Structures are given as structure tokens and as C-alpha cells.
Structure 1
Amino acid sequence: MLPNWIIIGVPKASTSSLFRWLADHPRAAGSENKETYYFVDPGTHMFSSDSNVRNHGLAGYEALFAHCDPSSAVILEATPSYIYSDTALQELPKLPGKPSFIVVLREPVAQLRSLHAYFQQNWSWIPADMPFGDFIAAVDAGHAAFRGNELAENALANAWYSDHLRRWTAAAGAERLEIVLFEDLVDDSRRVMQRLAGRMGIDPGFYDSYEFPIENSTYVARSALLQSLNIRLRAHLPRGRIYPLLRKAYRAINTRRPASADRDVECERMLAARFAPMIDELEREFGLDLTKWRHPVPRGQAGAVAERQPVAAPAAVAGLDQAGAAAAQPVGR
């Protein structure tokens, strides 16, 4: 059994929550671990010699879905770094059954901010004393390896979404790509999920009373010592049913939601201007309405800028903009 729907991108755009919401549908089944990393490129920090297509072929991939009910209309996984992976690009469109692919896009400045916060606060890939502006400068200069995390190292190129969408359109065909906007997931989770369900051939009515739980939030650790221990241990924990319970217990004890911080408005304005041509490309080539992306930084404001708060359907989406990192065993959930 192989997936017929795969969420391939992008990091920090609520792919973890989207995977959960889809897998909760009675006619859908998800991989036991949201991110299988089975088609990531060798040499990336996510690559595992024990689980990859080059060493284990399609039989190894099928084994990751052995627990799924074969009568499910939708079988899915979600590895958001696939959108950047040459291996995924070469192999996934050729899978038997010709799966379809979901790409969640997020306004690039907000996506970069969230990536920086997640890799710095939930992990230690980005130094704790490196503010957002310095992170962007280091990525731009190409002189920071971020301890081998290529998602941080290539963050700016990765956020030029049109380049990656062109490659996937050429490899899979536009009819097999479903583009979802993160902002729409925040603003009206129910409507987006009902539309996706209809596209997938499963009952949209399931989401009429669905509560939309949030997955994979960015947090701030109360104790740096406990967080350091958590980072060292969690990559070695088995990803069974007990893992989410342990994660929930740890976060209740040692984490809190990030407080609103001062934002580097000048850096964000520079980035907004830099990505403006890419936004034009997305609208022109992929038929997207990206009006919500046009003014990511409030005009005429300096110093502290409050994070955008979602105004959503009854869904509990208060933490949604922190969800959905692309991460591997080292970067996990």
C-alpha cells in the first residue's frame, strides 16, 4: 500500500496540523510518523540510512503504511522538505497510482521568521543569541552552516516558492498539485478542509463540527538544561503511541508559548521588497490570489510589531502559525 496524497511543503506552514486534520477523517489514514523522510536527499541532516528509497526501495516505503486500513480512500504522509529534494522530485511522481501532492505556502517573511524561531527555540540549530536580522544576513552571505541543518542554511532560496513549484509542475503536472495558503488555513480552517475533502473524494461534512487541534507549536523552554536533555534524548525515542504522550508531558512541564518580541522591521521590509517579484510570479503562473501577502510589515511602524493573530472559524487555531516544521529525527516534532 502506497500513499495517494503527499504533503510536500513547505516548512513552518502548518503541515503538521494539516496532516492531523486529514488523517483524523474516517476515510483517511496517515503514516504512523507524519514525516517519513523516505525520499530526502542523501547528505541532508534528515537522511536516514535505515529508511530511504535508495537502500530499501518501494518495499520499505510500503512498510511505513502497513498499519493503514486498505479500504481508506486517502493514504497520506507529510514531509515538507520534499519540495526541495531532488530525490523526491525524481521518484514520487513515478510512484504506482500517481499520487497527488499538497503544497502549503506561507507569506515568505512570516515563514522565515517562524523558521528562525522554531530552529532557535525548539532546537539549537540557530544560536540562541542570533536575532532574526543576523540570521538573514548569515544566510545571505552563505557563511553559516547552522550545525548541518540545510533548511536553515538555504532558508532564503527555499522561500522562493515559484522555483520549486515550477520543478514539481514539470515533473508531476499541474493537475496533481494542490496549492493551499497558510493564511487561508488560519482564517477559515473549516472552509479549506471541506474544499480539500471534496477534492480528495471524502466527505466534507466530517469537518462541520471538527475542532481542528494544533500540532507542532513553537515554544520557549523554561529550563535550558531540561531542553538540552530533551533535544539529546528525543531523537532516540521510538515513534510509537507513547511518544506524543511523552511530548505532551514535557511541554506541560518545561515550555511556554513565545511572547511577542520586537521585530526587525527594516529587515522585514527589505525581505518583503526582495520577495515581491516572486509573489508576482506565483500569481501570474499559478493563478493564486496573494493579496494577503502584499503588506506583511505594517507601514510606518517601528520597534515592536505584534504577531498576526488568526481570526478563524470556531477552530482552535490560536497557535497555528507556529505549526508545521520540516524536520527530521534530529529536528523532529
Structure 2
Amino acid sequence: MYPNFLIVGAAKSGTTSLWYYLKQHPQVYFPENKEPNYFAFAGQDVSVLEGPAPAHVLHRKLYYLTITSKGEYEDLFDDAGGETAIGDASVRYLYFPEACGRIAKAAPDARIIIILRNPVDRLYSHYLMMKGLYDLEPLSIEDAIREEDNRVAAGWDWDWHYTRVGMYYEQVHRYLDTFGESRVRVYVYEDFCNEPLQVIREIFGYLGVDPDFEPDMSKRGMQTYWPKSARIDWLLRSRNIFNRALRKVMPEGTYQQWVEKGMRMNSAKPPKLPEALRAELTEKFQPDVAKLEGLLGRKLPW
């Protein structure tokens, strides 16, 4: 079995919240694995992907949920029963050119959901995640953007393609060309934040499930983690003598709860994006935003 609808991105644009709200609907099925990434990495060996850390560290932090086998992917949907809408939510699908064609081949009648965020805000949120949560960004935001071309040339994966991921026009155009306007819905993150229930109900209708169902929307998806203390963060999350000792005496579930509680206590408000860099990035993205507005036939709040 394959899904009959997919949330394909964009990353850091509210897809986790959208997935969480949709999966509460009794007529909607998602596997527990939110990001199987199958159509991005089908048949590939993700253990050799490049980045600023050893391959085993990248796999543990970024790719541990990724499925590359057709059989394993189909197994994700074995528990689907009589649900009307069967979904996959993997944000790499929007950016990876091959993913769109693979989805169309496997599920040509699938409905596609895209949610887009101000590309500057999306970029910075992605950077903060890589820097603060995953500890996989060694550079400042300015240097990371400056090094992007070199990183891409060196084969680093999409998580370090900060500006490229936010160039939405070609990515959205690809899905509209492949699936047609009737099977692709594009939403704007800012609209979703302002009127979440209205957007969710519209999506319910698009998926053919009861639009009057009201999910619990009191929780949001992934929150930015920025440590107050790098030392405490190191104690909590690195493979050091302290937490190795704790793992020996605590059940794994209790240990993970302890780490999560420590991270919450050590969480701080992240620094703001410097205004000069914001202005520079806004100018960089504007030609793409203008083309996207023409494609979608609407003014975007960016």
C-alpha cells in the first residue's frame, strides 16, 4: 500500500504541527514515523551521506527514521484500516527533484500538500535547529551561508542548503506540472499560524474526510532549542562519562525523559537574525518570491 496524500514540505514551515493535527482525525492514517523520506532516498545508502560530522553521527541524528527499501516503506501502512486518507509527511520531498517523479509513479492519484514560510524565517529556523538542537552546524549563520556553494559541491546533504531550500518557485512548479492544480494545495505558514482551525478544516475537506472534526490544537510541533549553557548541553547530550553512567542505572525511557527535562530547563530564547543579514537575504529571495506569486496567483506576505 502507498499513501494517497503527502505533506511534502517545506521544512521548518509548520509541517510537524500540521501532521499532528491531521493524524488526530479518525478518518486519517499516518504511520508513527513522521519522516520516512522514502521517495527522497529510495534505494540509496544514507550511511554515507556527507556533512560536518562522522557518518554514524549524521545517521543517528538525521537519518535514523529514513527508509530506503520499498518493502519496509509499504510495511509502514500495514496497520491502516478503513481510513479514507492515508498519509506520509516528509519535508525532503519538496526539495529533492527525484521525489516528485517517484511519488507520481507509485501513487499517481495522490493529493499533495505544500506549506511555505517566509524563506528568510525558514532559513534561520533551519539554521537554529542544526546549530542548537542537532549540534551539526559549526559555523555562524553568515559563514554558513557563505560556505553553502562549497558544501553543496562537496556533497553535503540538504540540511546545509540553507538558501536553496527556500527557493520555492521551481519546487512548487514541479509538483503542479506533475500532479496538476486539482491535486496540489499550497498553504502559507503565516495563514496557518493566524487561522489554524480554518486551514485544517479546509485540508480535511480536500482529503475527503469530515471537515467538522476539531483536533486538539493546544500543542505546537517542533520548537527551537537554543541552550543557555553549552556546558550543560554537552553534559546532557554528548557521549560523556556522566550520561553513560546514567544510562547504565536508568531505564532508557526514564533516561530520555531526564534529557528532555534538562533540555527544557536549559532552553533559552535564540538570538535574533541580524537585521543587515535579514535585509540581504530578503533581497536575495525576492526574484523567486515574485515568480512564485505569479505561479500561485496571489500576493505573499513576505
TM band (smaller chain): 0.7 to 0.9
How much does 1:104 deviate? 1.0
Q: Which residue of 1 aligns with 2:290?
A: 280
**Greater fraction of residues in helix:** 2
**CA displacement at 1:193 relative to structure 2:** 0.6
Contact 1:32 1:65 in 2 (8 A): no
Asked if residue 118 in structure 1 is aligned to residue 129 in structure 2, the reply is yes
Q: Which has the higher contact order (CA 8 A, sep 6+)?
A: 1
What's the RMSD between the two structures over aligned residues? Answer: 2.9
Unaligned runs of 5+ in 1: 234-241, 294-333
Contact 2:111 2:207 in 1 (8 A): no
Structure 1 pair 223/104, CA: closer, same or farther in 2 (3 Å)? same
Q: Is 1:65 aligned with 2:72?
A: no
Q: Which moved more, 1:164-173 or 1:17-26?
A: 164-173
Partner in structure 1 of residue 92 of structure 2: 81
Give the aligned partner of residue 143 of structure 1. 150
C-alpha distance 88-48 of structure 1, shift in aligned 2 (>3 A): farther
Structure 1 residues 29-48: aligned runs within 5 Å: 29-41=29-41, 42=44, 45=49
Aligned position for 1:152: 159
Secondary structure of the 2:33 match is coil
Consecutive unaligned residues of structure 2, counting only runs of 5 or more, are: 50-61, 244-250
Q: How many residues align?
A: 272
Q: Equivalent residue of 1:112, what SS? A: helix
Map 1:285-304 → 2, pairs under 5 A: 285-290=295-300, 292-293=301-302
Taking structure 1 as reference, are residues 205 and 125 closer, same or farther at Cα in structure 2, changes over 3 Å only? Answer: same
Q: Is it true that 1:226 corresponds to 2:241 in the alignment?
A: no
Q: Whole-Å Cα distance in 2 between the matches of residues 145 and 224 of structure 1?
A: 29
Letter in 2 for 1:156: T
Amino acid at match of 2:297: G
Identity percentage over the alignment? 24
TM-score, with length taken from structure 1? 0.73
**Deviations 1:100-144 (CA, angstroms, capped at 9, x unpaired):** 1111100000000001000010112211xx3222222222xx224
Is 1:100–1:177's contact at 8 Å kept on the other side of the alignment?
Answer: yes
What amino acid maps onto 1:20 in structure 2?
Y
**Which one of the candidate residues 92, 97, 101 is aligned to 2:112?**
101
Are 1:5 and 2:5 counterparts?
Answer: yes
